[in-house]
Amino acid sequence: MKKIEDILGHYRAGSHESLIPILQDIQAEEGYLSENAIVQIGRFLEMSTTKIYGLATFYDRFRFIPCGKVHLRICDGTTCFINGSEAVINAIRENLGIEPGQTTRDGKFSYELTSCMGGCNEGPVINVGDNYHNHVKPEDIPELITKLKVLADLK
Ligand code: FES
């Protein structure tokens, strides 16, 4: 709650053009946009929550549910795409049974697609916390997820 107030304190009340930067800041801090955050933003910017949700859902980078214990970021940049990221993303989708931006029912996993992470020569690239997995192939995904489940169980 305090963190959201702090973030809002950096913006001018009622300034609708601040909406997207505010949403980005809050998501960076909290990991997702909670209902409470949307309500507070609405009060601060004097906008309806319906309008805020409408605008926020237009951008696929915003999340409305908490991330899983293990959150994967999969590069969806052009070079990784050329190197086969689409098949990797499909393998993750199949393995976890969720779409980008969703969290598994057990709360262990979530994933998102990101723009270039700066490791194009090493692509397809997956980032998990401080670790980067390079040259990932679809057939690597079951073993990677199995290893990450151990990590999720420890959290
Ligand atoms: S396009 Fe994936 S790291 Fe650059």
Residue 35: which CATH number?
1.10.10
- Would you say the CB of residue 81 lies under 6 angstroms from ligand 1? no
Whether 99 is covered by a domain: the verdict is yes
pLDDT at 59: 82
Probe residue for ligand 1, chosen from 74, 75, 114 as the CB with the greatest number of ligand atoms within 8 Å: 75
pLDDT at 1: 61
Outline where DSSP puts E strands in the chain: 70-75, 109-114, 126-128, 131-133
Whether 64 is covered by a domain: the verdict is no
Per DSSP, 18 falls in state G
Q: What six digits make up the tokens of 67?
A: 């991330």
Domain count, the chain: 2
**pLDDT (tens digit per residue) in 9-65:** 999 999 999 999 999 999 989 989 999 999 999 999 999 999 999 999 888 788 898
Verify that 149 and 121 share a domain, yes or no.
Answer: yes
Give the span between the Cα atoms of 135 and 133, in whole angstroms: 7
Q: End of a domain among 30, 58, 86? A: 58
Q: CA distances (Å), 97 to each of 12, 22, 129, in order?
A: 41, 31, 21
User: pTM here?
Assistant: 0.78
pLDDT at 154: 86
**pLDDT (tens digit per residue) in 60-92:** 788 898 999 999 999 999 999 999 999 999 999
CATH number of 89's domain:
3.40.30.10
Verify that 147 and 104 share a domain, yes or no.
Answer: yes
Residue with tokens 């237009």: 58
Verify that 82 and 131 share a domain, yes or no.
Answer: yes
Rounded to the nearest whole angstrom, what is the distance from the C-alpha of residue 115 to the centroid of ligand 1?
A: 7
Verify that 79 and 52 share a domain, yes or no.
Answer: no
Query: What is the SS3 assignment for 91?
Result: helix
- Would you say the CB of residue 123 lies under 6 angstroms from ligand 1? yes
Rounded to the nearest whole angstrom, what is the distance from the C-alpha of residue 140 to the centroid of ligand 1?
A: 18
**Looking at the predicted structure, is the pLDDT value of residue 137 above 70?**
yes
Give the span between the Cα atoms of 28 and 43, in whole angstroms: 20
Q: End of a domain among 58, 78, 100? A: 58
- Its domain, for residue 30, covers 2-58
**pLDDT (tens digit per residue) in 112-125:** 999 999 999 999 99
